[in-house]
């Protein structure tokens, strides 16, 4: 019997490890994707990267809902990536990479399943061009915008060994820093240092 996947929390060395390419999409990878989605849903997340369940492999699952206005009416999907990916949700990205970032940026309060219950403002590009394979082996290169673009940047940071608090706005980071440090100690990682990247 296989051991169930376990969430990894800030301080765990796997979260600062660069993930490796997945050479081929096997039945094991498809099974892993399904298990990762279960972990993500169980924890009420919208994305989960391989590192977060202890596997430094380039796999990401994402389930974000298409944008709506305050009355629940669908908003237009402005980029080809949104038009292509939203109808396929939940999606699994294999060996994803961002090949271009827009100069236009915006801030948004982010959270993370590996840093539970803590939120901080992070400035990111409004749009990115994503190159990735899907679970069926098909490959695409498409511009993504909106909340999808943010989720992609957040999850792909994990594959580079970056946790969102490292990119949080300084004022926000200082506000949550005591809780972050407490979390690191609680998870048993004494000498872990958050590498700030702002």
Which residues are tagged catalytic? 155
φ, ψ dihedrals at 68, nearest 5°: -135, 160
Tokens representing 143 are 């511009």
Cα(35)–Cα(71) distance, integer angstroms: 34
Say if residues 127 and 102 touch (Cβ distance below 8 Å). Answer: yes
Tokens representing 4 are 């169930």
Q: How far is CA 36 from the centre of its chain?
A: 12
Tokens representing 153 are 């940047």
Closest to 142 in 3D by CA, of 187, 183, 88: 88
Closest to 8 in 3D by CA, of 174, 154, 158, 165: 158
Say if residues 39 and 5 touch (Cβ distance below 8 Å). Answer: yes
Say if residues 85 and 20 touch (Cβ distance below 8 Å). Answer: no
User: Any idea what DSSP says for residue 24?
Assistant: S
């Amino acid at each position: 019997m296989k051991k169930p996947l376990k969430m990894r929390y800030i301080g765990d060395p796997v979260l600062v490890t660069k993930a490796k390419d997945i050479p081929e999409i096997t039945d094991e990878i498809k099974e892993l994707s399904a298990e990762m989605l279960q972990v993500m849903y169980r924890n009420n997340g919208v994305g989960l990267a391989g590192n977060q369940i202890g596997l430094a492999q380039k796999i990401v699952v994402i389930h974000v809902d298409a944008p709506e206005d305050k009355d629940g009416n669908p908003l237009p999907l402005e980029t080809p990536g949104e038009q292509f990916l939203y109808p396929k949700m939940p999606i699994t990205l294999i060996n994803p990479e961002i090949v271009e970032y827009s100069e236009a940026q915006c801030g948004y309060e982010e959270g993370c399943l590996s840093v539970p219950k803590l939120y901080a403002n992070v400035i990111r590009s409004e749009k990115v061009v994503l190159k990735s394979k899907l679970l069926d082996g098909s490959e695409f290169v498409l511009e993504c915008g909106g909340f999808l673009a943010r989720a992609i940047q957040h999850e792909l940071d994990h594959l580079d060994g970056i946790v969102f608090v490292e990119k949080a706005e300084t004022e926000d980071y200082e506000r949550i820093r005591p809780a972050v440090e407490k979390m690191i100690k609680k998870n048993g990682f004494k000498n872990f240092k958050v590498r700030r990247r702002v």
